[in-house]
Amino acid sequence: MINLQSTVRISLRALRVNKMRSALTTLGIVIGVGAVIAMLAVGTGASEQIAAQMSSMGSNLLIILPGATTAGGVRMGSGTQPTLNMSDAEAIRKECPAVSDVAPVLSGVAQVVYGHLNWSTGVEGTTPGMFNVRDWPVASGRLFTAQDVKSATKVCLLGQTVVDNLFGGQNPVGRIVRIKKIPFTVIGVLAPKGQSPGGRDQDDRIYVPVTTAQKKLFGTPFPGMVRIILVKARSTDDLGRAEQQINELLRQRHHIGRKEENDFTVRNLTEMMQAAEQSTKVMTLLLGAIASVSLLVGGIGIMNIMLVSVTERTREIGIRMAVGARTWDIRLQFVVEALTLSLIGGVVGIILGITGSEIVSALFGWPTVVAPFSVILAFGFSGLVGIFFGFYPAYKASLLDPIEALRYE
């Protein structure tokens, strides 16, 4: 039996003889492997981005929106009716066992001034519960407290984007900014959070105590009214239970009869995000599957060329058989040849796939992540393709009649 090292040398030489042909044959695998890796990189990048956004949003999150107003048969869409207030939030926190914390929010847009610079941004009045619900720590300074909310103090927390636009390089903690011309003391800067799942900049925001917002900034005719209530469930498993408990509680509090519709909506953001993540995963799989088709086509290309090669080298096969090559010596020679083609294609394809996904990242700004598993998968798959599609030509070669093969012109 011939040793493997010699077989590999023979195969490499045979491939070198027809450089152009070998290169073109390999190209099929290069494109296949490259496509698989790039597609999986785009898909993995997308789902990792969603996962990151999910954790930036805060985990196990529910949002309660006020219901739709109906005026003369015209329904205005959810959030237009002032049905939620501070005591709803407080009741949810106290009476729903599946809820770990709540954060009522009253928000608006306001012009903020510091020195000679000004910036228009979202101002949200809320309670300290917000930073627990959204898993959001301060980068410097401190959060406001329940006491701040109680006494409606004029303090604020700035998002990083606001700091960048108003303060340049200075430390804003302790400074006074004017929101709607009212002076507020900056007590802290929040840690950067990046984009929301909807694409909004979550750092372009100012947080003030909810009571301050109600009394000083966005006065409403309904005392204690809030725009939304954020709720954190105790765990992912508790999300459904929390939703149900909130529904029951608010229906009771808002005196909603059996047949009447809710005047509020509870949205399960975590569930929505999980659905999004799931669909991205399916997408990734689909892209990968489509890319594997090109890998398959590349494999067929290898088989085609190997069949041509076996026919062309019939005489060589005859000579080898005459001097004592056994069935498996011949088979191995051609399988190794096909395998060499496909593995070279695999390596080049991996390089191409990685570069390709970086180019996609750079050009379109899509996040791409080349997972090591996808590289191993693509490389292993290209090897299997080589063996699978190389075997039939090798098998054919090994069954040639030595006399016929020696006579072949």
Shortest reach from residue 403's CB to another protein, in Å: 5
Q: Is 309 strand, coil or helix?
A: helix
Residue 6 binding another protein, by CB under 8 A: yes
Between CA 182 and CA 105 the distance in angstroms is: 20
- By beta-carbon proximity to another protein, the closer residue of 278 and 327 is 327
Residue 320 binding another protein, by CB under 8 A: yes
Among 322, 359, 362, 376, binds another protein (CB under 8 A): 322
The CA distances from residue 155 to 141, 170, 211, 369, in Å, are 12, 18, 11, 41
Q: C-alpha 54: how far from its chain's center? A: 9
Q: Which residues pair with 155 in a beta bridge?
A: 185
Contact between 274 and 61 under an 8 Å Cβ cutoff? The reply is no
Residue 318 binding another protein, by CB under 8 A: yes
Structure tokens at 199: 């694409």
Residue 321 binding another protein, by CB under 8 A: yes
Between CA 46 and CA 314 the distance in angstroms is: 51
Which residue, chain included where needed, has tokens 């999986």? 40
Among 27, 63, 296, 319, binds another protein (CB under 8 A): 319
Interface positions, 388-407, toward another protein (CB under 8 A)? 402-403, 406
Residue 13 binding another protein, by CB under 8 A: yes
Among 326, 362, 373, 376, binds another protein (CB under 8 A): 326
Shortest reach from residue 51's CB to another protein, in Å: 55
Strand 74-75 vs strand 70-71: parallel, antiparallel, or unpaired? antiparallel
Contact between 227 and 217 under an 8 Å Cβ cutoff? The reply is no
Where does this chain touch another protein (CB under 8 A) — which range of 1-9, 195-203, 233-241, 376-384? Answer: 1-9
The interface mask with another protein, positions 329-358, x = CB under 8 A, is: x-----------------------------
Radius of gyration of the chain (CA): 33
Among 226, 233, 242, 325, binds another protein (CB under 8 A): 325
* Residue 338 host element (H or E): helix 327-364
Residue 201 binding another protein, by CB under 8 A: no
Residue 324 binding another protein, by CB under 8 A: yes
Among 327, 359, 376, 380, binds another protein (CB under 8 A): 327
Between CA 240 and CA 105 the distance in angstroms is: 22
Residue 323 binding another protein, by CB under 8 A: yes
- By beta-carbon proximity to another protein, the closer residue of 68 and 321 is 321
- By beta-carbon proximity to another protein, the closer residue of 6 and 87 is 6
- Which residues make Cβ contacts (< 8 Å) with residue 120, sequence separation at least 6? 109, 110, 111, 112
The footprint of another protein (CB under 8 A) covers 1-3, 6, 13, 17, 315-316, 318-329, 402-403, 406
